[in-house]
Structure 1
Amino acid sequence: MPESTSPSPVTADDLDQAVRLAVGLLSQAPAAAWDAKAGSLEWDCWETVEHLSDDLFSYAAQLGSRTTPADGHVPFAWERRRPAGPANAIHADREAGPAGLTQVLEASGALLVAMVRTTPPEVRAHHIFGASDAEGFAAMGIVETLVHTHDLAEGLGLAWTPPAGMCSRVLARLFPDAPRATDPWPTLLWATGRAELPGHPRLTTWRWYGAPRS
C-alpha cells in the first residue's frame, strides 16, 4: 500500500519559529533604514512591521472571542497615522526605536501562538476569506510573517529565505491550487502576488482559503 501523501498540519511551533526568525532578521537592520519603502508596498518598513504585528494580534483576538459574530471582526479601533499608511489597532512607540518595534512584533506573535495552542480544534472564527480554525489562523499568521518579512528584507537590504518545509505546509493549508512541483518559497511568493514562477503567469489578484480541511 502506498504511503499517505497528506501534508503535515501547520502548528503553533511553526508560527513561533516564523516569528522568531523574522525578529532575528529584522534586529540586524540598521537604524537609519526603517524609513525605506518595504519592497513593492506603499508603506515604509516601520509601518509594515506595525501592520504585521497588527495582523498577528487581530488573529489572536478573533480566536479569543467567543461572542464575536460569525461574520464580523472584534471591533477594535483601527487608525491610520497618515492617509496612505496601514489602518492598525497596534502601533509601536517611536521613541522605543527599532528594538521596541521588533519587541511589539514578538509580543503580538506570542499572543497568536498562545491562542493557537489553547483553542479547541472545533472552534471557528471569522476571517474575511472565510471562517477558519486555529490551524488556519496559524497558517495565516505564518504567511503574513513570511511574505511581509520578504517585503521588509527588500527595503532593509537583508537576505531572507524561510524554511522550505514551513512554506510547503502553509501552501497545502491555504493555497490548495498552488503548484506542488516547484520550490516552496518561490511558490509562496508567487501565490501572494510577489514574484513570477516559471510556467505560471504572475498573479495580479490572489487570496487564500482558510476553511478547515476535511
Structure 2
Amino acid sequence: MDDHSRAAADAAELLEGVLARSLDTLRAAPAAADAWAAKAGPLEWTCWETGEHLADDLFAYAAQLAEPAGEFGTEVPFRWSAERAGGPANTVHADPSAGRDGMLRVLASCGALLASMVRTAPAERRAHHVFGATTPAGFALMGAVETLVHTDDLAAGLHLAWTPPEEACATVLAALFPDVPRTAAPWPTLLWATGRAPSPAAPAAPAGAGTTRRDPRRRPARSG
C-alpha cells in the first residue's frame, strides 16, 4: 500500500470512528422530531436542521469524490433548498415522521457513503473544494471535523454529554489547522479553531477561523 492509499484508509477509519461516537451519543436524544426544535448550541439552526446539515456535508463530500479528477472543477450541481428563511440550504433532508432514529439512519448512510468513496476513489485523486482541490483523505478529515463540531452543537441543544475522541481531534488539527497554536488539549483547540470557543491562552479565534477547510457551499463561521 502506497502512502496515498494508507492515508486514505486511515482517514476513512478515523471518520467512521468519529461518526460511531456521534451516533452513540445522539441515540440518547429524545425520539420525537419536535424535541429537536431547540437551537443547536451557538447556531441559529434547530437541532433537526443541524443534523440535516451534517448529513448533507458528508453526502456532498462523497459526491465530489465520485467525479473524475479535474473534469469539472466545480461543485456537483445538486439543487439545495432551505425549508425556512435562515435555515441551512441542503440537498439532504430527513423525514421528520421518522424521528430521531430516522435522523440517525440518514447520518449513518451519508457517513458511510463518504467513507466508502474515500476508500474506493483513486487515493491520489484531487476533487474540487472551494479552498482548493483535496484528496480523499482530506475529505474524510473534513467530514470528521464537521461531525465533531456539529455533534457538539447538537449535544448542547439536546442536553447530552459529548466526549469526542481526543486522538481524532489531534489528527484533524494537525492535518487541517497546522497554523493553530497548540496551547490547550486537542478538543478545546479544535473548538477555538472553528470559532466556537476561546482558547485558555487566546481569547479570540484567529482571523478566518471557522472557515478553514469548511464546506464550500454557504454560511458564515458561526452558522455551521
Query: Above 0.5 in TM-score?
Result: yes
Does the 8 A contact of 1:62 with 1:68 survive in 2? no
Q: Comparing 31-40 with 47-56, which one deviates more in the overlay?
A: 31-40
How many Å separate the matches in 1 of 2:208 and 2:130? 15
> Which residue of structure 2 aligns with residue 27 of structure 1?
27
Tell me by how many angstroms 1:71 deviates: 3.3
> Which residue of structure 2 aligns with residue 208 of structure 1?
212
Give per-residue Cα distances to partners, 1:132-182, cap 9 Å, x unaligned.
001100110000000000000100001112111100100011001112342
Give per-residue Cα distances to partners, 1:84-140, cap 9 Å, x unaligned.
110000001111111101100000000000011112221000111111001100110
Judged with a 3 Å threshold, the aligned counterparts in structure 2 of structure 1 residues 209 and 100 are, in CA distance, closer, same or farther, namely: closer
Pick aligned residue for 2:39 from 37, 44, 63:
37
Judged with a 3 Å threshold, the aligned counterparts in structure 2 of structure 1 residues 52 and 209 are, in CA distance, closer, same or farther, namely: closer
Matches within 5 A, 1:21-100: 21-31=21-31, 33-66=35-68, 69-100=71-102
> Which residue of structure 1 aligns with residue 176 of structure 2?
174
SS at match of 2:146: helix
Q: Comparing 106-115 with 194-203, which one deviates more in the overlay?
A: 194-203
Give unpaired runs (5+ residues) of structure 2. Answer: 1-5, 215-224
> Which residue of structure 2 aligns with residue 119 of structure 1?
121
Q: Comparing 141-150 with 115-124, which one deviates more in the overlay?
A: 115-124
Judged with a 3 Å threshold, the aligned counterparts in structure 2 of structure 1 residues 205 and 181 are, in CA distance, closer, same or farther, namely: closer
How many Å separate the matches in 2 of 1:156 and 1:93? 19
How many Å separate the matches in 2 of 1:205 and 1:26? 30
Point out the structure with the larger helix share.
2
What is the TM-score when the length of structure 2 is the normalising length? 0.86
Tell me by how many angstroms 1:201 deviates: 3.1
SS at match of 2:82: coil
Does the 8 A contact of 1:121 with 1:133 survive in 2? yes
Does the 8 A contact of 2:58 with 2:110 survive in 1? yes
How many Å separate the matches in 2 of 1:41 and 1:53? 16
Q: CA-atom RMSD, angstroms?
A: 1.8
1:11 maps to 2:11:
yes
How many Å separate the matches in 2 of 1:180 and 1:137? 23
Matches within 5 A, 1:134-149: 134-149=136-151
What is the TM-score when the length of structure 1 is the normalising length? 0.89
How many Å separate the matches in 2 of 1:205 and 1:43? 21
* Stretches (4+) displaced over 4 A: 67-70
SS at match of 1:11: helix
Does the 8 A contact of 1:161 with 1:185 survive in 2? no
How many Å separate the matches in 2 of 1:69 and 1:125? 9
Percentage identity across aligned positions?
55
Letter in 1 for 2:44: E
Does the 8 A contact of 2:49 with 2:87 survive in 1? yes
> Which residue of structure 2 aligns with residue 163 of structure 1?
165
How many Å separate the matches in 2 of 1:85 and 1:54? 13
